[in-house]
């Protein structure tokens, strides 16, 4: 019995000794678990922070991309209306109102469906406006301008936005209330090409040429003249930089003394004329030639920005009349060798370059195709086949 009592006392002592050790182990386990939970929570916070940063970066990138897409979504063009001195003949510079210093203004081309933002900067000393001739646009864009909508004061800027839904040949110039500005040079061509590059009746032509013809009434100064225009005697900056000289065709016209146009010079020419008949802002022979290759299909878009009708004739070829004032012609096909373009009208023509040689495209009215009775001059240019060597071009002074 005594031995049993000893064993029981030892067991109780052992259990008493073990109890504190187990409690310590439990506390250590709880501390470790809490530390693990704190680390996991910290890790989760870090991951959330990383996710938030990634989301913020993505949102910022999306905003930047959206802004870029917005800028790219509109085809933006800037027009600066200003006074300029423009060279219209080899010996004549005139004071004109221009867009971007050019006569006519820049040729604008868009695709059907393009969103267009056209920004007009008025650098003139008087108000101006803008009209898109022939286009059907909302009144808020192209209606009669008002002081708070469309009339651009000196030094101001105005943005015109529209969708180019209407394919065809058009032109831009000041509104009717500023119509005298158009007469002084504020005009330019605007072409909307059909979606896919095809017209209802023909494939895309090999060459597409825009010709803006018309008359301008202005003072000028020639080398022999007495009237004064600021800086008219000096070369324009563009001429000074490029050192441009008349091309071979222009030299040929001058050197052959009117031979290609078959006209006779008149001695009644005044020293300083006030009326100029121009093609793309130049009087022949300064107007650039139309260069073609044999069998090319050529489209010619003629815009009359002047005040009188102009009958245009291309020798050696026949035009197919594709459209008048931006509208397709009705069948049957219409062919002409002379086409009259009234003031403000546009005519789209096409022809096949199938008769190699050197030809004239000019007005049939002598007054319009000359300069005060002297040719070459006025509304006229050369059509030449660049893949055919002409003896006359080889030796312009036979």
Q: Single out the residue in 197, 228, 259 at which a domain terminates.
A: 197
Are 163 and 273 found together in one domain? no
Q: What is the mean pLDDT of the chain?
A: 78
pLDDT of residue 79: 96
Are 241 and 380 found together in one domain? yes
Range of weakest confidence among 42-56, 77-91, 245-259, 359-373:
245-259
Tell me the percentage of the chain whose pLDDT exceeds 70: 69
In a domain, 271, yes or no: yes
- We report the CATH number of the domain holding residue 334 as 2.60.40.420
Instruction: Report yes or no: 210 and 217 within 8 Å, Cβ to Cβ.
Output: no
pLDDT of residue 232: 34
In a domain, 17, yes or no: no
Structural domain total, the chain? 2
Are 80 and 102 found together in one domain? yes
Q: Which residue has the higher pLDDT, 254 or 213?
A: 213
Rg (CA), the chain: 39
Query: What is the arrangement of strands in the sheet containing 115-122, beginning at the earlier edge strand?
Result: 157-163, 115-122, 74-89, 92-99, 220-222
* pLDDT of 255 over the 80 cut: no
| Structural domain boundaries enclosing 118 | 73-197
| pTM greater than 0.85 | no
Average pLDDT, integer, range 369-383: 90
In a domain, 3, yes or no: no
Q: Which residue has the higher pLDDT, 392 or 47?
A: 47
- For 377, half-sphere exposure in the C-beta direction (CA atoms, 13 angstrom radius) is 24
Rounded to whole angstroms, the Cα distance separating 47 from 59 reads: 18
Average pLDDT, integer, range 331-340: 87
Q: Which residue has the higher pLDDT, 275 or 23?
A: 275
Q: Which residues contact 137 (CB under 8 A, 6 or more apart)?
A: 162
First to last CA, the chain: 155
Q: What single DSSP character describes residue 333?
A: P
Are 212 and 342 found together in one domain? yes
pLDDT of residue 67: 55
Are 213 and 163 found together in one domain? no
Confidence of residue 381 (pLDDT cuts 50, 70, 90): very high
Are 254 and 381 found together in one domain? yes
pLDDT of residue 379: 96
Are 175 and 269 found together in one domain? no
Rounded to whole angstroms, the Cα distance separating 384 from 380 reads: 13
* pLDDT of 292 over the 80 cut: yes
Are 90 and 108 found together in one domain? yes
* pLDDT of 45 over the 80 cut: no
Residue identified by tokens 């065709």 is 249
Are 141 and 289 found together in one domain? no
In a domain, 1, yes or no: no
Confidence of residue 64 (pLDDT cuts 50, 70, 90): low
pLDDT of residue 26: 60
Q: What is the pLDDT of residues 67-99, one digit of tens each?
A: 544 555 889 999 999 999 999 988 888 999 999
pLDDT of residue 91: 86
Are 179 and 262 found together in one domain? no
Rounded to whole angstroms, the Cα distance separating 177 from 147 reads: 12
Are 375 and 320 found together in one domain? yes
Rounded to whole angstroms, the Cα distance separating 370 from 25 reads: 115
Q: What is the pLDDT of residues 174-228, one digit of tens each?
A: 998 888 899 999 999 999 998 875 555 556 899 999 999 999 877 655 554 444 3
Long-range contacts of 244-252 (CB under 8 A, 24+ apart): 246/90, 246/285, 246/286, 247/288, 247/289, 248/393, 248/396, 249/285, 249/289, 249/358, 249/382, 249/384, 249/393, 250/285, 250/286, 250/289, 251/285, 251/396, 252/382, 252/392, 252/393, 252/396
Q: What is the pLDDT of residues 357-374, one digit of tens each?
A: 999 999 999 999 998 788
* pLDDT of 291 over the 50 cut: yes
Q: Which residue has the higher pLDDT, 332 or 280?
A: 280
Long-range contacts of 9-15 (CB under 8 A, 24+ apart): none
* pLDDT of 229 over the 70 cut: no
Range of weakest confidence among 55-64, 107-116, 262-271:
262-271
pLDDT of residue 252: 44
Q: Which residue has the higher pLDDT, 241 or 158?
A: 158
Q: Single out the residue in 155, 174, 197 at which a domain terminates.
A: 197
In a domain, 41, yes or no: no
Rounded to whole angstroms, the Cα distance separating 351 from 348 reads: 11
Are 192 and 214 found together in one domain? no
Q: Single out the residue in 148, 163, 197 at which a domain terminates.
A: 197
In a domain, 202, yes or no: no
Q: What single DSSP character describes residue 178?
A: G
In a domain, 191, yes or no: yes
In a domain, 6, yes or no: no
């Amino acid at each position: 019995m005594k031995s049993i009592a000893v064993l029981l006392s030892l067991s109780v002592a052992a259990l008493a000794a073990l109890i504190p050790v187990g409690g310590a182990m439990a506390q250590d386990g709880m501390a470790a678990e809490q530390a693990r939970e704190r680390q996991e929570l910290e890790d989760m916070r870090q991951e959330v922070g990383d996710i938030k940063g990634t989301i913020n970066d993505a949102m910022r990138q999306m905003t930047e991309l959206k802004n870029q897409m917005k800028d790219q979504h509109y085809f933006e063009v800037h027009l600066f209306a200003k006074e300029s001195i423009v060279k219209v003949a080899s010996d004549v510079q005139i004071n004109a109102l221009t867009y971007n210093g050019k006569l006519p203004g820049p040729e604008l081309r868009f695709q059907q469906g393009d969103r267009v933002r056209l920004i007009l900067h008025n650098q003139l000393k008087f108000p101006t406006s803008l009209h898109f001739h022939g286009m059907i646009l909302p009144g808020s864009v192209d209606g009669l301008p008002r002081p708070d909508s469309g009339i651009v004061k000196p030094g101001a800027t105005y943005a015109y936005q529209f969708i180019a839904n209407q394919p065809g040949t058009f032109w831009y110039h000041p509104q009717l209330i500023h119509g005298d500005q158009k007469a002084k040079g504020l005009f330019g061509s605007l072409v909307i090409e059909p979606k896919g590059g095809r017209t209802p009746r023909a494939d895309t032509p090999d060459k597409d040429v825009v010709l803006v013809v018309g008359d301008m009434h202005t003072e000028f100064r020639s080398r022999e003249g007495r009237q004064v225009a600021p800086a008219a005697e000096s070369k324009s900056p563009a001429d000074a930089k490029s050192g441009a000289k008349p091309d071979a065709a222009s030299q040929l016209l001058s050197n052959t003394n009117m031979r290609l146009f078959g006209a006779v010079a008149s001695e009644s020419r005044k020293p300083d004329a006030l009326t100029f008949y121009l093609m793309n802002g130049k009087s022949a022979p300064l107007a650039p030639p139309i260069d073609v290759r044999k069998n090319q299909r050529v489209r010619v878009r003629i815009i009359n920005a002047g005040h009188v009708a102009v009958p245009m004739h291309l020798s050696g070829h026949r035009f197919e009349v594709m459209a008048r004032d931006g509208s397709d012609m009705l069948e049957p096909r219409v062919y002409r060798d002379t086409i009259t373009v009234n003031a403000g009208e546009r005519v789209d023509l096409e022809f096949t370059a199938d008769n190699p040689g050197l030809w004239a495209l000019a007005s049939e009215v002598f007054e319009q195709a000359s300069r005060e009775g002297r040719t070459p001059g006025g509304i006229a240019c050369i059509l030449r086949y660049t893949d055919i060597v002409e003896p006359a071009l080889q030796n312009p002074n036979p």
